[in-house]
Chain A
Amino acid sequence: MAQFNWRMPRWFHQMGSPKWFYNFGGLLQPWFTLAAFLLLTCGMVWGLAFAPADYQQGNSFRIMYVHVPAAILSQSVFLSMAIAGAIGLIWKMKIAFMVARSCIAIGATFTLIALVTGAIWGKPTWGAYWVWDARLTSTLVLLFLYAGVMALNQAISERQIAGKATAILAIVGTINIPIIKYSVEWWNTLHQSSSFSLTDKPTMPSEMYLPLLLTVLGSYFLFGLVVLTRTRAQILQTQNGASWLMQHKDISGAK
């Protein structure tokens, strides 16, 4: 009988090795720092001072350059966390649980930024800081989900069990992501529809669009940087005594 013999590629299993992840992450980290800093700085300066004002919203539309990346990342980070959690559950990879844990605080931060900047933008545009609209409410639910994941992760001291519980909650919570995404289409809403997508041509002129692209990319790099740094810190904590780590140049003193 023919046997099903397909395997995950080698790099996938390498990623699960603490030593490999620690070293490879160390190589990436400075480049992520540089990319995040440059992209965010250029995007924000461009958006603040050089992009033309919107013909309807005037200068308040410049909030878009921080609001949209935060909103996109709030959902991307949650998805990443759920995927990392699922990998941890299926392949029993400790690193995956560490990655998921590293996503929680930065994801919650992006969600909080999206909500607060959205509220501030709402005042001059809609005349109110907050309305109980589908997009806003589902994003608030996302913030509560992050809070739940964070509380659950910290309440359980045994890392492996905490990782499993967190993964399950994150996976169940992803049901909220399509609700946020399609809320502006399914319900009547004050919120404008997506500013850009991967597949369609932008509806904005390029001098308005490009700064947004920079801040979104920069935010992804910043997310990557935080996840790398925090996951590597967790590797240091849990691998105490491992010989590869004890001889590592980061620890043995040599800079």
Chain B
Amino acid sequence: MYFESVDALWHMAGHGPYVWSCYGLFIVLLAANVWHARSERKQALKQAQAFIRRNSNYQANTYVDAP
């Protein structure tokens, strides 16, 4: 490691707050994007599954109701 201690890594000779806040922002915003994309996919999967369920019910009902 370049720094002598974890404390030195945290403070970075006074630049710590600047550096750590930048890395934090990078991680949080990009993770939020990945999370959002994944939740969109989950939502779409649920919709597609619901479509199948509706569709199969409809077919079953018409079959039963038929004279």
Contacts and interface: CB of A to CB of B under 8 A. Distances in A.
A49 B2 contact: yes
Interface in B1-60: 1-3, 9, 12-16, 18-19, 21-23, 25-27, 29-30, 32-34, 36-38, 40-41, 43-45, 47-49, 51-52, 55
B49 A251 contact: yes
A226 B33 contact: yes
Contacts of A62: 12, 15, 19
A106 B41 CA distance: 16
Contacts of B36: 105
A229 B38 contact: yes
Contacts of B27: 44
Contact of B45 (A59, A106, A121, A236): A236
B19 to A, nearest CB: 5
A190 interface: no
Range, interface on chain B: 35 or more
Contact of A58 (B13, B21, B37, B43): B13
Interface residues of A, number: 46
Contacts of B37: 102, 225-226, 229-230, 233
Interface of B: 1-3, 9, 12-16, 18-19, 21-23, 25-27, 29-30, 32-34, 36-38, 40-41, 43-45, 47-49, 51-52, 55
Given A48-B23, A60-B19, A112-B29, 13 more contacts: A44-B27, A49-B3, A59-B12, A63-B19, A66-B26, A70-B26, A117-B25, A120-B21, A121-B22, A222-B33, A232-B41, A233-B43, A236-B41
Interface of A: 44, 48-53, 58-60, 62-63, 66-67, 70, 102, 105-106, 109, 112-113, 116-117, 120-121, 123-124, 219, 222, 225-226, 229-230, 232-234, 236-237, 240-241, 245-246, 250-253
6 contacts: A112-B29, A117-B22, A233-B43, A236-B48, A251-B48, A252-B52
